[in-house]
Amino acid sequence: MRSKEFIVPVLLAGFVFSLLVAPSFAGSGFLQAQDKQEKKEAKQPPAKIYIPKEVRDVMLSGLQARTARQDIPFTVFKSTFLPAQANYYVFLFLKMKNGDLGFAPPAPAPAAKDAPPPTVPAAPPTKVAARFDVFLQFHKMENGAPTQIVKEVFVPTTMELDAAGYDPEKEGWYTVGYPLPSADYLVAVAVTTHDLKKIGTQYFEFSLPDLKAIKDLDTTPIFFLKEYKELQQAETVAELHREFMRYAILQITPNIDNTVAIGDPLDLFFLILGAQPNDQNKYDIEGQYEVKQGDKDAVKFAPAKYDNPFISQPLPLKQTLITKDKDGKESQTVKDLGAGSYTFICKITDKISGRTCTKTVDFTVK
């Protein structure tokens, strides 16, 4: 019987897998909303565009050489993807410094024309806010070079932070997600002030695999989960989120620096690609996991069995040490994995097709 700490992740995997196979998968609402918006905007005058010309020109001017513009410095430091029916939902991860985004206290409401002067000083603001715009331009890659633009996306953003402890030098990370079909892509990203006086750009390449072309087993990028929660509604337009990602009706916080505290588990989250169900549409998948420190074994886990290809499972980082006393009698001691740098090794076997794949992820215990 699974302990309680394993029950919720297993239910999460089943829930997400049900979204994947359901005809009305929530992610498709995003696609339907985008289609409706595009049809609506197609009826508008030609001046109605996704990306203003001055921003588009800057994005295209640096495209071939991947030359970033640093009016607003930022980086696109990674991407990941999850399924969205026949498409994938790709997530881009950005890092930006608070001060570069123009966070400031909200402007006070204007006083009435004949209002008397205030008798007590105004309370200090509890929030600081920034208003800026993000633009995404997805280019298909062929033979290592960007070709046609397949999608342009406008992401107007208003962000608030607590005024207490606000640090303009602190860097925050952000995510934005969008559904795309399998292909190789180069995305041009622009972050601009709302008045377009400052335009920052970056370029990032990623690939979304074609399931029909997968000859061996594969996985989506493996990441470690910090927390998640279920929301009432799915996201239907692209939005920028600070330090979490939105997927269907889930709000997911990944462990972006792969660092865990002593005593905490590694909470896996990924999808197996290329696994085959049996005639009853059931999967038979085995996961073998271990942790190494250099060439030395640190932790080995009992094989895990799965009946669907969406994996969400915490793995306790415990070491079992066997010692012998002077009489040769053995005793076991279980302790938490100590601080240091480690490599997580994941071997997946599809028992039905016989396909296998092995993935590694470096992580740190502090």
Digit-coded pLDDT (tens) for 217-262: 999 999 999 988 888 888 888 999 999 999 988 899 999 999 999 9
**What is d(CA 190, CA 23) in angstroms, rounded to the nearest whole number?**
34
Q: What average pLDDT does this structure show over 39-58?
A: 68
Q: What average pLDDT does this structure show over 199-209?
A: 96
Task: Place 320 in a pLDDT band, splitting at 50, 70 and 90.
Answer: confident
| Range among 37-41, 107-111, 321-325 with highest mean pLDDT value | 321-325
Q: What average pLDDT does this structure show over 126-141?
A: 95
**What is d(CA 4, CA 67) in angstroms, rounded to the nearest whole number?**
50
Q: How many residues does the chain have?
A: 366
Q: Is 118 or 279 the better-scoring residue by pLDDT?
A: 279
- 109 has a pLDDT exceeding 80: no
Average per-residue pLDDT for the chain: 84
Measure the CA angle with vertex 185, ends 181 and 188; round to 5°. Answer: 120
Question: Which pLDDT does position 13 carry in this prediction?
Answer: 56
Question: Which pLDDT does position 119 carry in this prediction?
Answer: 63
- 24 has a pLDDT exceeding 60: no
Question: Which pLDDT does position 84 carry in this prediction?
Answer: 79
Backbone angles phi, psi at 39, to 5 degrees: -65, -40
**What is d(CA 165, CA 65) in angstroms, rounded to the nearest whole number?**
39
- 206 has a pLDDT exceeding 60: yes
Query: Whole-prediction pTM value?
Result: 0.82
Q: What average pLDDT does this structure show over 18-29?
A: 43
Question: Which pLDDT does position 86 carry in this prediction?
Answer: 73
